[in-house]
Structures are given as C-alpha cells and as structure tokens.
C-alpha cells in the first residue's frame, strides 16, 4: 500500500493556521479536502499531554483517519471509545490523554457522572458541524463542556455550505451551539484556492457527446411529463413553496428531500391525487436516470413494465394518457427494435406479435463507443511511453455499481454481445411471465456476478444446445464475439494492484491496466480516495460527471505535481446529465454567496465563546423575562429554591429529550433502571414511546409487561407517546375512529390497556420540547426521586408468568400484609393453596417458605392477632374468601 502523505497545500496551510490561532467554524467547498485539515489537527494533538475529543465522526471515518495517521508514523494513535469498555476502563483512558473518538451517548453519560475530567480537556474537534442543532447530543456536550471548562478550544469543520442555507440564520445558530465567534469560508472561487490550483492543472480532455435522436425524443417527453406533474402538484396544493418545486430541481437528487420537508407534516391531510403525483414524480425521475445511465434494453424494460402493469396503469395521476407518454413508449421501443414505419399499417394481432418478435437493432450507448476510443488512444500512448516511466494505469469513475458492472462487461465482451445477452434475458423473463413454453433461450444467459478483481467470461462461449431459437440467439452472440479487440486481453492483469477499497473492479483490462470504481453508493465513503492514492493512475476517465470527484482530482494533482495526470471528461451535450452537473455548481456558488453576505451582517456578542463566568447562554434559568415579580417581601421568610432532578435510564441518551430537560435547569442523573425510562418523583414513573416503538411494543406484548411493572412499584405510572415534530400529530390518518374493537387497531389496544391498568396515565406530546416542558410542570411542588431506590427496583422474570397464573387482586392483598414484599410474594402463591391454608401454617413453616425468620414472624403475628370486627362485616364473607384459592382469582382472558 502506498504511503499517505499529509503535507498540506498552500491554501490548506492558510486554513490550518487561521483555525489554529483562533477557534471558529470553517466551511469549505465539497471536494477541497476538509478531512486533510482535520487529519493535520489530529496529528498535532496526538500527544499524551493533551486530551482532545473528536465528535460526530462515523466508524468508517474513524478507521480511515486512524489508518492515515498510522501510515505517517504518528504515535500514539487516537483511541476509539465504544460501549465495549467498562466505566473504569473509560476513566483510565481519559486520564492517559491523547486524541479520543467517543460516541456522543457515552460522552454525555461520562460528563454527567464526572468520569471524564472536563476541566482537563484540552479541546474538542467537531466534524460535520452543519448537523449541530440545538437539541442534538453534540450541542449538549458543548454546553456541558463550556460550563466547566473556560479555557479549552473548539474547532468545527464542515464541507456542506448548502446545509447552512436552510432556515433562518442557520449558520449563526450553529455557531451559537458550538460556542465559536469566527466563521471561515473557503469556496472554490476563493482567490488563494484559484491561484494555487491553476498552477497545478491536470491535462483535461472534454468529450462532448451527442444523444441519439431517440434518446433526445425520450428526454423531451420525460421532461414534459415531469413538468405536467409539477404543475398539477402546485395546482392541487397552493400552500407549497413553489420556488423550490421546479423542473430543474426535479432532476436533482435532493428533490425528494425538498418534497418530504414540505409535505411530511401535512401528509395525513393530503388527498389521494397529491400522494399519487409524488409517487409518479419519483417514477419519472427514475426513468430519466435510466435514459442516460444504462443501456437501451434496461430503459425499455422499465418503461414497458410501467405501461403493462395494471396497478400502475390504473393508479397513475394521468400522465400515462398524455401525448408525451406515447412518444416516450414509441421511442423507447425504437431504441431496441429500430424504426417501425410499417407499424401504422399493422392492424391484426398476428402481425403485431410478429412485429414484436422481429430481430432487434439494439442501439448502443454513445458513451460506450467514446470510452473504447479513449482506451485505444491510451493504449497507443502507453506503447510509445518513456521506458523509465512505464505505462500508465487508467481509473474509470462511473456513477454507481451497476454502471461499473455494465462498463466492465462492455470492455470484456463488446457492446452488441452485452445488449444481446440483456435482450435474451428480458425475452426469457417475459416468456416465463406469460407462461409460454419457449422460455428456453434463458439458458444461454449466464448470470452476471460482480467478480471483482477477475475478468468476466465471454458470453460467446455459451453452449449451443436446446431448441432452434436458442441456437439462433447464441449464434447472434458468436457473430459479434470479436467486435472488440480488448476481450482477449482480459485474461489476467499484468501486475497485482494493492488497494484497500472493496468497491473497485480491478484487472478489467491488461493493456492498459484499468480499474473501475463507483462514485456513489460505496460501502466505504473514502473508497475512491483510497483507490486514487493506492493506484496512482496517470489517466482518469470521468464516465459520469461529479463535482466532488473533479475537485478531488485537482487536489490530487496539486499534491503530486511531478506526476502526469490526464482527465477525460465524458458528457452528453444538452442533456439532463449536463444540466444536473451545472445546477450543482450553481447551487453551491449561491450558498457561499449567501454565507458571505450573512457573515458581513452578522452581529456576534462578545460572550459567544462561552468563556465568561456569567454567560447568559449557559444559564439554565427558564423564567420568562416578562414574569411578574413580588417586590413586597418585608417580613416574609425567603423560600429556598430546590434543585429539581430527574433520573434517566442510560438507553434514553440516544434521544434528544435528556438534553432539553437539562436545558430547562433540571439536573439529570443517568443510571441503569429496569422499570421505566424517566423517574420524575418517587411516585411518578414514565415510559417513553415513539409512535413506531409504541406499535412494536403493542404487537410484541412488551408494553403490557412494562405497565405491569410500573403499576406494581409506582403510584402514578405514565405512558408518554412522543411524536416526531416533522410528522403529523396523529396515530392514524383516518378521519373517523371505528366504533368496533379490533385487536389490530392501535387505538383499540390503547383503550384496552387503560381499562386494564386503571392507574396508568397517557401523555401525548407533539415534540421533545413539549415533553421537557411537561416534565418541568409535573415536578412542581413534588419531592425529588432517589436513584438508589430506582435502581433497586427490578423487572422480575416471573412477572409474565405470574400475571397469567394469578390475578392482580391476589397479589395486592398479599403485598399489603406485613413481611410480604415484591421479592417473596410469589413464593407464598406457589407454595400455599389459599388464605385458609396460610392461616394453618406454623411460624417455622412460613419462615422456610419466605426464607426470612423476621418476615415470617411479622406475617404470623399479623394473621393470629385479634382484630376488632366491624359492624358492616358479613359473617360468611371471610369464610368464602379464605377458602377460595389463589388460582380461583385466575385472570379471565
């Protein structure tokens, strides 16, 4: 593996020094290498004398950063703290110092329990800072950090400028949550970046390709259909933000996110037509992607499947009946079967079926031919290359894994062989779906496997056995077997290529040595960067345009000024692909321009960094500014303020609620408790459920056992149903609730639950903010809970068995007797038949059953002492109750 270098470029050095000298938030353009800046900060602080925490980094990113530091010889390496470490081990690691990757949930708990010495922390590095909102765990960590540490640094990194354009003053609110005062902006058009990268430009060859007439017609028809659906969506929903819902945005990848952001809160109020329009837009966008991304057979299959599907045909919003849809279907078929001018004269079904079975034309993708010419040119150049340098390797970057697989098969087998094999498979699937016996041609199609690192076997070697139609199709394969001279060169690779990326296709061609790698959908987010550094290609073919990878190539070339690099840029002129790429560039430019204007007008208070002792932002007093104050205090004893406390289960720190509770001035004590999630008072226990968790708990029966435990140990058990603020505040979307009880209905199950547990109360909260406010109101005037008592209460394994065997009335009766508690009542119920038998037992026998002489004495004295009989007592009642067994109270189901 090639050794990685972390030597910074000129503009990267300026970024590093700006952020090193003064804390702040740095926002760079995507692809400029924000991870390289973070890597150099990690390298700087990897010292036992420091204690630096790194937040908001995924496990893959942690692995990549540690690997890069290890290759540069940095010691000691950063440590990754997970739940595999015990509390004592984590405290020991904190005290050893260095750089630590810690998950947010663990770090919050360790800060609250003071396992982490906050005052000794040197600083915090926050990655992907655009995700830091007020209610997230990272913002909670920053608040706890600044409350006890006024000297440590905070440095935040982000490469997503568009994320800061959502909402009102989003960048200012993020800086407020991070406790930083400086904002550093580094767009691609920054003067330092432009001047440096222009001096180290790679050799770029732009190949502007023309779409075929059929592809142009299909693209025009699809854009017309998308435009019609967008107009209809706006007409049906006048309240939508029409600036965002446009045809230009509809062809981008973020369109579904734009639609979901606006429609999710009111989704339950939308009509069936609006929902179908959203689904149709998704379908049309998928078809549009297939047009320029994949082959003509795959495109025709997806278009034809929509037309022939009865469900899709019947549920569509009307676009299938437009003239543009007819044009789409006709030209999609034309790409496979060729122009059918005789189709207008065909009237009978027999002649129509024969037209369907005509020999296919199979239009090849224009990019395939261009790619073959590029590789031929590279091969010729390698043959004439300087022997001291040797032949150069080729890296082909395509959009996704499926595109890479098709390119690999094209390079190995040729375009016509690939399309013929895909056509055979489609015909076989169609025949099998219709139940025809002539589905034998599917045998000639061999299933494609990814086969990374190995060449694909030629489909021309398929055996020619079976029916006559199969022989004809196989001969079609053999006829075009030798179309491409590269296929004989794919037997093996001239030299092994070591790479740590698992997403690449290696050894595709022997000459030139060719590697394929997808741009998106990789299992490793840094897989393409690893491949670029490991392979060190001299030629890069951009099969699909991608802004981030283009900039990564610029940075790679600037980092290796002595290594020649030529980039071939393949793009369809006047296509949706080109427009999508230009829109991405324009939106990022507009985002930076907005951030520059906002930075110029931003007013940042002096105490924003949180280093002042009386910082108002760190205050946890939630008293309103306009609250009335009683000034007549003469002779009145001053009330002592009680600090409220809530006991929180450790597993609840995955949610936003603990952070918001702490923000309201309430102390939280994280412990592991078996019964409930939040203990508000000694009497109030809360079990929190999201809507999805509520439905799952009702289906599995887990919620019933949880309610049994809460009702057993607490006077006021509470079930909290918390909704997502971005989703509708409703359990079901139906306007009317059915009057019939159904076991499948959520509301019916909740009704049965409240009838069974009469002490149970249900709280409905639209968001975690409302929940935190409600908890504060419930604690007013009530005593504080005890963590030791809450931890002592355990959900016994016998709860589920006993609840089926005995009634709750029997348990309640026993638990009210002296010497009987929650840990020994089931021994009496299992050993003693009824109350009358219990009265006949001696004190020693009761002691053997309970396992405690003291408890046995208390119970025996209570049962055999004289009690005054009340006048209202019925003479026969006690006799009947004592003779009836515990199982006589068995719960009816």
pLDDT tens digits, one per residue of 709-761: 888 889 899 999 988 877 767 666 555 555 666 666 777 888 888 888 888 99
Amino acid 191: pLDDT: 93
- Give me 816's structure tokens: 């009210």
Q: Of the candidates 688, 619, 618, 608, which has an alpha carbon nearest to the alpha carbon of residue 648? A: 688
What is the rounded CA–CA span in Å between residue 229 and residue 223?
Answer: 10
Residue 98 β-bridge partners:
51
What is the rounded CA–CA span in Å between residue 487 and residue 411?
Answer: 7
pLDDT digits (tens, 9 = 90+) for 831-854: 888 888 888 888 888 888 888 888
What is the rounded CA–CA span in Å between residue 727 and residue 766?
Answer: 9
Q: In angstroms, what is the C-alpha Rg of the chain?
A: 35
Confidence band of 27 (pLDDT split at 50, 70, 90): very high
Amino acid 641: pLDDT: 65
Query: What is the strand order of the sheet 678-679 is part of?
Result: 667-671, 645-649, 678-679, 684-690, 716-722, 761-765
**Cα dihedral sign for 276, 277, 280, 281?**
negative
Amino acid 448: pLDDT: 37
Angle at 307 between CA 303 and CA 309, to 5 degrees: 115
Give the C-alpha distances (Å, rounded to integers) separating 658 from 67, 654, 683, 719.
35, 9, 20, 17
* Coil, helix or strand at residue 645: strand
What is the rounded CA–CA span in Å between residue 825 and residue 816?
Answer: 10
Amino acid 832: pLDDT: 83
Contact 720, 765 (CB under 8 A): yes
Residue scoring higher pLDDT (836 or 317): 836
Amino acid 640: pLDDT: 52
Angle at 646 between CA 643 and CA 649, to 5 degrees: 155
Q: Of the candidates 110, 106, 129, 105, which has an alpha carbon nearest to the alpha carbon of residue 120? A: 110
Residue 182 β-bridge partners:
24
DSSP secondary-structure letter at 731? S
Contact 759, 715 (CB under 8 A): yes
Contact 876, 884 (CB under 8 A): no
Q: Are strands 716-722 and 539-542 parallel, antiparallel or unpaired?
A: unpaired
Give the C-alpha distances (Å, rounded to integers) separating 815 from 265, 322, 708, 865.
48, 74, 15, 18
Amino acid 794: pLDDT: 76
Confidence band of 183 (pLDDT split at 50, 70, 90): very high
Amino acid 738: pLDDT: 56
DSSP secondary-structure letter at 630? -
3-state helix, strand, coil in the chain (%, to 5): 50, 10, 40
Confidence band of 350 (pLDDT split at 50, 70, 90): very low
Terminal CA-CA length for the chain:
67
Contact 678, 649 (CB under 8 A): yes
Amino acid 884: pLDDT: 54
Say whether pLDDT at 487 is over 60.
Answer: no
Mean pLDDT estimate for the chain: 79
User: Position of tokens 């922390």?
Assistant: 121
Q: How many CB atoms lie within 10 A of CB 238?
A: 7
What is the rounded CA–CA span in Å between residue 512 and residue 381?
Answer: 10
Say whether pLDDT at 484 is over 70.
Answer: no
Contact 504, 454 (CB under 8 A): no
Q: Determine the distance from the C-alpha atom of residue 114 to the mean position of all C-alpha atoms in its chain, rounded to a whole number.
A: 31
**Main-chain phi, psi angles of 374, to 5 degrees:** -65, -45
> Average pLDDT in the 2-8 region?
57
Say whether pLDDT at 800 is over 50.
Answer: no
Which ranges in 793-852 belong to alpha helices (H)? Answer: 798-805, 808-815, 825-831, 835-840, 843-850
Contact 110, 90 (CB under 8 A): yes
- Give me 479's structure tokens: 């006829």
> Average pLDDT in the 780-795 region?
85
Contact 670, 650 (CB under 8 A): yes
What is the rounded CA–CA span in Å between residue 242 and residue 148?
Answer: 47
pLDDT digits (tens, 9 = 90+) for 551-583: 999 999 999 888 889 999 999 998 888 999 999
Q: Of the candidates 241, 321, 328, which has an alpha carbon nearest to the alpha carbon of residue 284? A: 328
Lowest mean pLDDT of 324-333, 592-601, 736-745, name the range.
736-745
Say whether pLDDT at 60 is over 60.
Answer: yes
Lowest mean pLDDT of 168-172, 431-435, 596-600, 668-672, name the range.
431-435
Which residues 6+ apart lie within 8 Å of 642 measured at CB? 784
What is the rounded CA–CA span in Å between residue 66 and residue 89?
Answer: 21
Amino acid 253: pLDDT: 74
Lowest mean pLDDT of 196-210, 486-500, 726-740, name the range.
486-500
Residues in the chain: 893
Phi-psi region of 169 (alpha: psi -120 to 50; beta: other; left: phi over 0): left
Which ranges in 487-575 belong to alpha helices (H)? Answer: 527-535, 547-559
- Provide the Cα torsion 289, 292, 295, 299; round to 10°: 40
């Amino acid at each position: 593996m090639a050794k990685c270098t972390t030597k910074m470029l000129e503009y990267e050095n300026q970024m590093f020094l700006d952020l090193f000298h003064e804390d702040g938030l740095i926002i760079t353009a995507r692809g400029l290498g924000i991870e390289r800046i973070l890597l150099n900060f990690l390298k700087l602080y990897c010292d036992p004398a420091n204690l630096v925490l790194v937040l908001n980094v995924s496990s893959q990113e942690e692995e990549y950063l540690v690997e890069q530091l290890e290759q540069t010889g940095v010691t000691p390496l950063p440590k990754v703290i997970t739940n595999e470490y015990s509390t004592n081990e984590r405290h020991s690691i904190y005290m050893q110092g260095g750089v630590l990757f810690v998950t947010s949930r663990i770090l919050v708990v360790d800060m609250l329990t003071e396992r982490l010495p906050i005052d000794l922390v040197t600083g915090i590095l926050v990655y992907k800072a655009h995700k830091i909102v007020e209610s997230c765990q990272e913002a909670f960590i920053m608040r706890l950090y600044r409350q006890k540490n006024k000297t440590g640094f905070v440095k935040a990194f982000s490469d997503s400028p568009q994320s800061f354009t959502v909402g009102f003053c989003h960048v200012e609110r993020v800086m407020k949550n991070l406790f930083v005062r400086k904002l550093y902006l580094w767009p691609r058009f920054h003067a330092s970046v432009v001047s440096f990268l222009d001096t180290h430009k790679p050799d770029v060859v732009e190949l502007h390709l023309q779409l075929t007439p059929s592809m142009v017609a299909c693209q025009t028809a699809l854009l017309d259909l998308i435009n019609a659906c967008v107009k209809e969506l706006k007409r049906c929903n006048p309240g939508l933000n029409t600036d965002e819902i446009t045809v230009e945005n509809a062809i981008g990848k973020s369109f579904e996110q734009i639609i979901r952001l606006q429609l999710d809160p009111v989704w339950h109020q939308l009509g069936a037509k609006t929902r179908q329009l959203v689904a149709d837009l998704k379908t049309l966008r998928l078809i549009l992607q297939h047009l320029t991304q994949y082959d003509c057979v795959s495109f025709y299959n997806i278009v034809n499947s929509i037309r022939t599907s009865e469900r899709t045909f019947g549920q569509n919003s009307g676009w299938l009946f437009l003239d543009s849809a007819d044009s789409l279907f006709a030209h999609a078929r034309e790409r496979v079967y060729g122009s059918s001018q005789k189709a207008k004269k065909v009237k009978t079904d027999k002649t129509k079926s024969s037209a369907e079975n005509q020999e296919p034309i199979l239009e090849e993708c224009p990019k395939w031919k261009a790619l073959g010419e590029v590789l031929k040119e590279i091969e010729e150049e390698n043959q004439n290359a300087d022997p001291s340098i040797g032949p150069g390797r080729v890296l082909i970057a395509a959009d996704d894994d499926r595109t890479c697989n098709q390119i690999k098969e094209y390079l190995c087998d040729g375009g016509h062989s690939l399309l013929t094999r895909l056509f055979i498979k489609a015909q076989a699937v169609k025949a099998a779906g219709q139940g025809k016996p002539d589905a034998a041609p599917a045998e000639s199609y061999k299933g494609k496997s990814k086969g990374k690192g190995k060449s694909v076997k030629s489909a021309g070697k398929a055996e020619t056995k079976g029916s006559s139609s199969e022989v004809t199709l196989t001969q079609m394969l053999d006829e075009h077997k030798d179309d491409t001279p590269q296929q004989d060169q794919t037997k093996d690779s001239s030299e092994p290529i070591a790479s740590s990326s698992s997403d690449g296709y290696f050894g595709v061609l022997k000459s030139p040595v060719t590697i394929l790698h997808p741009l998106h959908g990789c299992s490793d987010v840094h897989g393409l960067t690893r491949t670029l550094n490991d392979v060190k290609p001299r030629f890069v073919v951009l099969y699909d345009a991608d802004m981030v990878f283009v900039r990564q190539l610029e940075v790679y070339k600037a980092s290796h000024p002595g290594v020649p690099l030529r980039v071939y840029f393949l793009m369809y002129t006047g296509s949706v692909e080109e427009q999508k790429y230009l829109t991405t560039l324009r939106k990022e430019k507009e985002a930076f321009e907005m951030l520059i204007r906002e930075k110029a007008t931003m007013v940042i208070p002096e105490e924003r960094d949180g280093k002042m002792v009386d910082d108002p932002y760190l205050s946890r007093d939630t008293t309103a500014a306009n609250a009335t104050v009683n000034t007549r205090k003469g002779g009145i004893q001053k009330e002592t303020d009680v600090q409220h406390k809530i006991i929180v289960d450790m597993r609840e720190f995955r949610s936003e609620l603990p952070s918001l509770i702490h923000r309201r001035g309430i102390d939280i004590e994280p412990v592991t408790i078996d019964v409930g999630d939040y203990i508000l008072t000694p009497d109030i226990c809360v079990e929190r459920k999201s809507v999805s968790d509520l439905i799952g708990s009702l289906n599995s029966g887990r919620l019933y056992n949880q309610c049994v435990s809460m009702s057993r140990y607490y006077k006021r058990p509470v079930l909290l149903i918390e909704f997502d603020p971005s989703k509708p505040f409703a359990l079901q979307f139906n306007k009317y609730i059915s009057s019939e009880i159904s076991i499948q209905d959520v509301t019916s199950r909740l009704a049965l639950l409240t009838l069974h547990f009469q002490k149970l109360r249900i709280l409905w909260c639209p968001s975690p903010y409302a929940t935190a406010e409600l908890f504060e109101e419930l604690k007013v005037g009530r005593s504080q809970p005890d963590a030791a008592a809450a931890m002592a209460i355990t959900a016994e394994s016998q709860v589920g068995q006993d609840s089926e065997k005995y009634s709750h009335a029997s348990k309640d009766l026993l638990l009210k007797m002296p010497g009987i508690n929650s840990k020994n009542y089931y021994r009496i119920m299992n050993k003693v038949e009824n109350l009358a038998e219990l009265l006949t037992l001696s004190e020693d026998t009761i002691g053997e059953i309970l396992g405690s002489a003291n408890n046995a004495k208390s119970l025996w004295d209570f049962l055999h002492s004289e009690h005054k009989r009340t006048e209202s007592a019925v003479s026969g009642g006690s006799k009947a109750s004592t003779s009836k067994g515990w199982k006589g109270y068995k719960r009816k189901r």
